[in-house]
Amino acid sequence: MGNDGFLRPDGTFGTTEADVKTLFAQDLPRITSGWAKKRLLLYAHGGLVGENDALQRVEEYRKPLLEAQVYPLAFIWKTDFLTTLRNILQDALARRRPEGLLDAAKDFMLDRLDDTLEPLARVAGKPLWSEMKENALRATTQDKGGARLVLTELAKLLAADPAWDIHVAGHSAGSIFMAPLVQLWCGKGTIDSGPTKGLTGLGGKIASLTLWAPACTMDLFDEAYLPSIQNKSVKRFSLFTLKDAAEQDDDCANTYHKSLLYLVSNALEDKSGLFFADGEPLLGLERFIIDQRDLFQVPTEAEIKTTNPPMVPLFGVPAAQWVRSPNGLPEGESANASHARHHGDFDDDKATVLSTLARITLTRGGVGQAAVEFAPSASALRNRRRTLV
């Protein structure tokens, strides 16, 4: 997909409206003709992922998913925010770092350094972040948006064969991309608020919704996701996040000394930490889930720190669960296992992917050691080299 949420017909993996129609009318029925259970997974990658890395990851998912009778349909959308963000942060660091600061720095000094980076990152980064979010929403809200075209064909597929189960997953900014899609697909009648306000809902169901470290705001979650979870149009909801200590031990572009979500909350959203004490509440940050514990029906911060649970039920129902990472549960043996230690880890953390697959297929006790193997992406290798110099 290209700019403004439209399909991009050019390039090696270009897609046209005719291609989408062919996929749903011919390819999906042919590929899944012998399946005992037909499942379609709609997936959107995160905003720090470039096109090549996203394609690599989808290729790695494809074989084990098909073997589990899950057909993956991935939205490869225009992001790669990391390259631009790295340049912004490094330029800000070069202009504001006193000589010898990092040599003497410990946690306190790194926090103060982050405080100086945030307002500078906001000047150049907020317009770019806002544009990326708008493009994500437009994929569904525009008549010819790529996700909108997919939903149109998906409705035809289910009209012809209602046996299909629809699953949705998104990583980081992929949760922003998927928000209007879920709202429009599950909505009924004229939608009165949120990103698809004024459009007519398609009245569909989602068997499972999984969000890994979602970068969407709590406001967007409340408008686009929560109603469908509460009215059970979304049958099962799984939220994977880092524990707050891991968020604060993470880094962004090897320059900002917390996770991307901390930077988004503190600098790139409307309620910046520069003007509001806590920044913009994001669904993917543990501290904001606990802050809104009355909504999510989770334990207090003290209770969570004391018990350190790997999984916490949400909304008082077993069909909604919050998985906290990293936890020590063995990969493939529990649907609650997640070993991600950084914001960008979730999409190639084998434990997380196997847990998600178990949740999609309703495999009790995990799916075992399915054939999921990840090769380091080009961007991951570059990041590793930077840590060695």
Encode the chain (389 residues) as per-residue pLDDT tens digits.
Answer: 887 899 999 877 789 999 999 999 999 999 999 999 999 999 999 988 888 889 999 999 999 999 999 999 999 987 666 667 777 777 766 655 444 444 444 444 445 456 778 888 888 889 989 999 999 999 999 999 999 999 999 999 999 999 999 999 999 999 999 999 999 999 999 999 999 999 999 999 999 999 999 999 999 999 999 999 999 999 999 999 999 999 999 998 788 889 999 999 999 998 876 666 789 999 999 999 999 999 999 999 999 999 999 999 999 999 999 999 999 899 999 999 999 999 999 999 999 999 999 999 998 766 666 667 777 655 554 444 344 33
Which residue in 7, 305, 296 sits closest to 150, CA to CA? 7
Torsion angle, alpha carbons of 138, 187, 285, 145, to 10: -10
Tokens of 346: 């979730």
- Per residue in 282-315, pLDDT (tens digit) is 999 999 999 999 999 999 999 999 999 999 999 9
- Give the domain ranges of the chain: 3-32+39-95+105-388
Which phi and psi angles does 230 have, rounded to 5°?
-70, -35
Any residues with CB less than 8 A from the CB of 257 and at least 6 apart, and which?
Answer: 110, 111, 113, 114, 251
pLDDT at 103: 46
Give the DSSP letter of residue 44. Answer: E
- Per residue in 223-252, pLDDT (tens digit) is 999 999 999 999 999 999 999 999 999 998
Tokens of 305: 């720190």
Number of H helices, E strands in the chain: 17, 7
Kindly give the pairing relationship between strand 165-171 and strand 237-242: unpaired
Q: Which residues pair with 206 in a beta bridge?
A: 234
**Neighbour-count burial of 189, counting CB atoms closer than 10 A to its CB (0-12 exposed, 13-18 middle, 19+ buried):** exposed
pLDDT at 111: 52
Tokens of 79: 């992001």
